[in-house]
Amino acid sequence: MSLVYARDLINYIDQSPSQFHAVSNAESRLLEAGFIKLDKAEKWQLSKGGKYFITNNSSSFIAFELGTGDIIKEGFRLIGSHTDSPTFKVKPKPEISVENSYLKLNTEMYGGAIASTWFDRELSLAGRVSIKTDNPLKPAEKLVNIDKDLLTIPSLCIHMNRTVNEQSAIDKQKDVLPILATINEELEKDNLLINMLADELKVATEDILDFELYLYNREKGKIVGLNDEFISVGKLDNLAMVHASLVALFESKSSQATKVIIANDNEEVGSMTKQGANSPMLKNLLERIIFALGYDQEDYHRAINNSFIISADMAHAVHPNYSDKSDPTNRPIINQGVVIKLAASQSYTSDAVSVGVYKGVCQKAGIPVQTFVNRSDMRGGSTIGPITSQQLDISSIDIGNALLAMHSVRELGGVKDHKDIITSFITYFEC
C-alpha cells in the first residue's frame, strides 16, 4: 500500500515539470474527484458538503470541501504547502552563441538550488507562454513542456579544473548556462527558442508575447533501496506535500469541519507575490466562503478562532555521512515517522498547543512522530507557516517528512513516510 502512494507521487511529480503543471495536474485530479472550479469574478453559490476549488496565477490553488456541521463552530481545517521548487529560469533574450557554433541559454537561479547537481544531465524546459489575442488586456496563456532531452550543462573536465573534487565555487552567471544546440549559420542563431516554442504551441512566432520557462530534469522518479524504501526524484520539496494533501482531501470521509488545502507558489523566493503565502488569497477565500453562506464579518472571525493550520513542508533527515550537522537530540530519520519542526526563533509556527493537537492526531492514526530543531549554531530554513500567520491568526504547526539532499535536482524521501503523512492528514480531516 505504501508503494501505491509513492508511485502515484512519482507520477504526479514526473508530470509536473513546473509549478504551472503541478497546478494543472492538481486541477485534473480535483475535477475528476467531483470538485467544482469557482470563477473568482462571479458571485458564489455554495452548499453544505459541496466541493470546490480556485486557482491563482495558474501556479497556486486552494481546494475545499464544506463540512456538514456548523461552519462557525467547526471552523476550517487547513493544510498548506507550496508548488514551486528551486531551478533555473530562462532570462529574456536568452540566446548566447559561443564561437559562432554553440548556442546556449542565459538563465538565473530560482530559489536556493544545489547548482552542482544540475551538471551533465538531460534537461528540458517547461512553463507558460503568453500569446497575443484581439484584446491586449487578455492575452492567452498556454502551458508548455518541451518533451525532449533538449539541454545539458556540461562540467568542465577535471584536466582543466584540478581542484574540482576539493570544492569548487559555482558562478551562477558563467558555469551553469545550458547548451541548446550547435549552430551552422549566422541566421540560425537568433530566435531559435521562440521558433521552437511557436512550433510546439502551433502559433505564429510574432504572437508570442512573453514566456516563463524553467529548466527541469528529464530523468523520471524512481523507488530505490534494498527494500524499496526510498523515493528518489526532484521537487519532493514540496510537491510531496501538495500530493499528500490532495490525496487526503479525496480519501477522507466528509466531516463536520470544512477541509481546506492550499498550495502556494513562490515559497522558494520569499512568498511575497499575489500567488504566494504572503498574499491575502487564503484570507479572502475563507471570508468569501463565510459570506457566501450568509454569515457576517463577526461570524468569520469566530470561524477563524475555531480553525487550525498544518503547514506541511519537507524536513531535514540526519545525513548518514554528515550526522554531526544535526541537532544532538532531535534527529529525524527517513521512514521513522512524520517530523514536527520547532524553532525558538519562530521560523516554524509550532508551539506546545499546536504540537499537542497534531501529536493527538498522530496517536489516533497510530503514526510515529519525530522532532526537528536546527543545531543552535546553524540557521535553518523557513516555511509558509510563519508567513501565513502574518495574514491569519489561526493556531498553526509546521510539520513534514524527513528528506535528504533538499534542493538537489534529485531529492531522497521515504516510501513509508509518504503513506504515514497521508494517513495523519486523513485522520486530521476526519476527527
Q: Which residues bind Zn ion (CB under 5 A)?
A: 237-238, 313
- Least gap, CB of 314 to Zn ion (angstroms): 6
DSSP string spanning 67-136?
A: -SS-HHHH-EEEEEEE----EEEEEEEEEEEETTTEEEEEEEEESS--GGGGTTS-EEEEEEEEE--SST
**Shortest distance, position 132 Cβ to Zn ion, whole Å:** 35
Q: What is the Cβ-side half-sphere exposure of residue 291, based on CA atoms within 13 angstroms?
A: 9
| Alpha-carbon span 313 to 315, nearest angstrom | 7
Is the sign of the CA dihedral 244, 249, 253, 259 positive or negative?
Answer: positive
Tell the smallest beta-carbon distance from residue 167 to Zn ion (Å). 26
Please say which residue, 354 or 383, places its beta carbon nearer to Zn ion: 383
Shortest distance (Å) from residue 241 CB to Zn ion: 8
Residue type, 337: G
139 or 380: CB nearest Zn ion: 380
Tell me the sheet residues that pair with 77.
259, 308
User: Which residues on neighbouring strands pair with residue 152, listed in sequence order?
Assistant: 179
Q: Do you find a cis peptide bond into 306, omega within 30 degrees of 0?
A: no
145 vs 401, beta carbon nearer Zn ion: 401
Name the 3-class secondary structure at 420: helix
Q: Is the distance from CB of 345 to CB of 376 less than 8 angstroms?
A: no
CB of 414 to Zn ion, least distance (A): 16
Find how far residue 318's CA is from the centre of its chain.
22
| C-beta of 90 vs 403, nearer to Zn ion | 403
E strand or H helix that includes residue 144: strand 140-145
DSSP state of 253: P
Q: Which helix (H) or strand (E) element contains residue 232?
A: strand 230-233
How many CB atoms within 10 Å of residue 226? 6
Residue 105 beta carbon to Zn ion: minimum distance, rounded to whole angstroms:
26
CB of 325 to Zn ion, least distance (A): 18
Minimum gap (Å) between residue 267 Cβ and Zn ion: 6
Assess contact for 170 and 75: CB atoms under 8 A.
no
Nearer to Zn ion (CB atom), residue 81 or residue 124: 81
Query: Measured between alpha carbons, how far is 224 from 257 in angstroms, rounded to an integer?
Result: 38
Closer CB to Zn ion, residue 124 or residue 238? 238
* C-beta closer to Zn ion: residue 65 or 313: 313
**Whole-number minimum distance, CB 82 to Zn ion, in Å?**
6
Q: What are the phi and psi torsion angles at 49 (to 5°)?
A: 80, -5
The distance of closest approach from Cβ of residue 140 to Zn ion in the complex, given in angstroms and rounded to an integer, is 31
The tally of CA atoms less than 13 A away on the side-chain side of residue 164 is 11
Q: How many Å separate Cα 50 from the centre of its chain?
A: 26
Choice between 238 and 354, CB closer to Zn ion: 238
Between 196 and 384, CB nearer to Zn ion: 384
Please name the amino acid found at residue 360: G
Q: Which CB, 181 or 403, lies closer to Zn ion?
A: 403
* Sign of CA pseudo-dihedral 309, 314, 319, 324: negative
